[in-house]
Amino acid sequence: MATYHSTRAREHAAGAREAVRRGLAPDGGLFVSDELGSKKLDVATLADKSYTDLAREVMGLLLPDYTAEEIAACVDEAYGGTFAADEVTPVRELGSGLGASGDTPSYVLELFHGPTSAFKDVALQMLPRLMARTGDAASAEGERIMIVTATSGDTGKAALAGFADAPGCAITVFYPEGKVSRVQELQMSTQEGANVAVCGVRGNFDDAQSAVKRIFADTALAERLRASGTVLSSANSINVGRLVPQVVYYFAAYAQLLRAGAVEAGDEVEFCVPTGNFGDILAGYYAREMGLPVARLLVASDKNNVLFDFLETGTYNRLRPFYTTTSPSMDILVSSNLERMLYYLSGGDCELVAALMASLAEDGSYTVPADMLARIRAVFGGSWADEDEVAAAIRDCWERFGYVIDPHTACGYHVLSELPAAKGVRARVLLSTASPYKFPRAVASALDLEVPKDDFACMETLAAATGTTPPAQLAELADKPVRHTDVAEIDELGRYVEQAAARLA
């Protein structure tokens, strides 16, 4: 069943399974479905539904060629017991008085209770289960999937945790050496599993991401790998198998607000989303198309504010300075998932999307037509925080609400404090994308605490000062043996993948 096709051409049609298995369309576009929004969830019934109920329903609609039994099995494996919270993604009330939010109450949607303490677990606990159910014919012939991923910090560990020892799969993760936090680096370098390779790259995240895209476009490499029984696939947020599970928590948040009496069915809410690759917030757009009453989606960026400039001017320009910030998972200049938003808000104009992407590749920038920008701005607003504002936000949230946030979440907090709520909005929900204990030094420093050189000592300082507890899987990293020490130059990554495929087969 062909429900998906490339953002750049309708010819490249694929069923949901094939879209999950391949990751990227053959022409370099992203898989999209024109059925998005044709079926909606009934908002009036959300309050009665658990996270897993919602996951089955939402994923069933978006991945129609998986059977209901398969989806149910994936949901149970991914969320039955892997998250340290009954709600999977619990909502906490902050209250009113957050800067420009005024009387409109703010809530935090905690997405970080999974095995690696960042929101990417929600999707990456699911993707391997979906992928394992794509390849009956292929795996009968002994074909093996090699996941190749570039990470700005959190994807890598969450992908490793999801794919370690997954049947029929191996995984290679590249991260920018020296540009992720100490905790993030240890999370990856201590990863266990017989099918994993982890490698530092001399360059920044965008360099690594571009190199990985070249690997996927390298037909000679693909040919050689196929001859030895390996096909490449992606775990980056461009894979529909990652996007779709993220749609669920927008509904789950609303269901919790209904149960708490914070909204009545149909009341409009706003979501503020710390975003880099535009994956997390795009999932919110999908939820809105599927009937969730969302007034606006607020894009929150760090100092790498390419998305803010795009929303202001209609011009996306990646030729700009790259800043390394305390929110490394949002230090991104090329926001891959934006391409899907361009597809939908151009009214499904593949030719236009292809032309914009060609312009981005060749000239480093593109400009969308004025009417399209107006449509985008009717749904998406946003702002950004510089490093001082991130620190001030962490401090303000602690002093005002007694709640500790990480630097990524702090970008969103800053945006909520700066932009007033749209008219009629009953609640504002800030997506919290990482545990503050993943970035203990930045958080301790923002709270004016003493900042020990060692991340783990710093976790203890933070715990003592705030009365919170570090997630066990982070605290115990200090004692785990380092298993991966590879480092490669940017132009060696293709060869590295080939060697890893041979070594792990």
Active centre residues (catalytic): 120
Q: Which of 230, 275, 326, 383 binds ligand PLP (CB under 6 A)?
A: 275
Q: How far is the CB of 272 from ligand PLP (least distance, A)?
A: 12
Candidates 29-37, 124-132, 250-258, 268-276; binding stretch for ligand PLP (CB under 6 A): 268-276
Candidates 11-19, 118-126, 185-193, 357-365; binding stretch for ligand PLP (CB under 6 A): 118-126
How far apart are the C-alpha atoms of 356 and 338, rounded to whole Å? 11
Residue matched to tokens 């709600």: 87
Q: How far is the CB of 117 from ligand PLP (least distance, A)?
A: 9
In a 3-state reduction of DSSP, which class is residue 345? Answer: helix
Strands 91-95 and 106-110: antiparallel
Size of the site for ligand PLP (CB under 6 A): 18
Q: How far is the CB of 68 from ligand PLP (least distance, A)?
A: 28
Candidates 116-124, 141-149, 223-231, 445-453; binding stretch for ligand PLP (CB under 6 A): 116-124
Candidates 102-110, 212-220, 272-280, 386-394; binding stretch for ligand PLP (CB under 6 A): 272-280
Pure H helices in 80-204 = 120-124, 127-132, 136-140, 154-163, 182-189
Q: How far is the CB of 223 from ligand PLP (least distance, A)?
A: 32
Q: Which of 279, 284, 436, 471 binds ligand PLP (CB under 6 A)?
A: 279
Q: Does 249 bind ligand PLP (CB under 6 A)?
A: no
Binding letters toward ligand PLP, positions 356-395, x by CB under 6 A: ----------------------------------------
Closest-CA residue to 101 (of 392, 426, 433): 426
Identity of the amino acid at 154: D
> Residue 462 in contact with residue 404, Cβ under 8 Å?
yes
Candidates 58-66, 129-137, 270-278, 358-366; binding stretch for ligand PLP (CB under 6 A): 270-278
How far apart are the C-alpha atoms of 180 and 55, rounded to whole Å? 31
Identity of the amino acid at 209: Q
- Run of H or E including 6: strand 4-6
Binding letters toward ligand PLP, positions 141-170, x by CB under 6 A: -------------x----------------
Read off the DSSP letter of residue 135: -
Nearer to ligand PLP, 134 or 337 (CB): 337
Q: Does 101 bind ligand PLP (CB under 6 A)?
A: no
Q: Which of 8, 296, 408, 441 binds ligand PLP (CB under 6 A)?
A: 408
How far apart are the C-alpha atoms of 115 and 158, rounded to whole Å? 8
How far apart are the C-alpha atoms of 195 and 454, rounded to whole Å? 31
Residues 209-248 within binding reach of ligand PLP (CB under 6 A): 237
Q: Which of 209, 277, 325, 326 binds ligand PLP (CB under 6 A)?
A: 277
Q: Does 340 bind ligand PLP (CB under 6 A)?
A: no
SS (H, E, C) 41-89: CCHHHHHHCCHHHHHHHHHHHHCCCCCHHHHHHHHHHHHCCCCCCCCCC
Cα torsion angle, 404, 406, 410, 416, sign: negative
Candidates 54-62, 64-72, 115-123, 368-376; binding stretch for ligand PLP (CB under 6 A): 115-123
Q: Which residues of 165-174 are buried (b: 16+ CB within 10 A; e: fewer)?
A: ebebbbbbbb
Q: Which of 163, 271, 278, 285 binds ligand PLP (CB under 6 A)?
A: 278
Residues 55-84 within binding reach of ligand PLP (CB under 6 A): none
How many other C-beta atoms lie within 10 A of the C-beta of residue 285? 24
Q: Which of 169, 330, 338, 394 binds ligand PLP (CB under 6 A)?
A: 330
Q: Does 433 bind ligand PLP (CB under 6 A)?
A: yes
Q: How far is the CB of 298 from ligand PLP (least distance, A)?
A: 13
Give the sheet arrangement for strand 144-150, strand by strand.
230-233, 144-150, 169-176, 196-202, 486-489
How far apart are the C-alpha atoms of 202 and 113, rounded to whole Å? 31
Q: Does 276 bind ligand PLP (CB under 6 A)?
A: yes
5: which strand partners?
A: 13, 32
How far apart are the C-alpha atoms of 470 and 105, rounded to whole Å? 27
Q: Does 434 bind ligand PLP (CB under 6 A)?
A: yes
Nearer to ligand PLP, 300 or 345 (CB): 300
In a 3-state reduction of DSSP, which class is residue 324? Answer: coil
Read off the DSSP letter of residue 169: E
Q: How far is the CB of 438 from ligand PLP (least distance, A)?
A: 7
Q: Which of 329, 346, 383, 417 binds ligand PLP (CB under 6 A)?
A: 329
How many other C-beta atoms lie within 10 A of the C-beta of residue 339? 23
Identity of the amino acid at 487: V
* Binding stretches for ligand PLP (CB under 6 A): 118-120, 154, 237, 274-281, 329-330, 408, 433-434
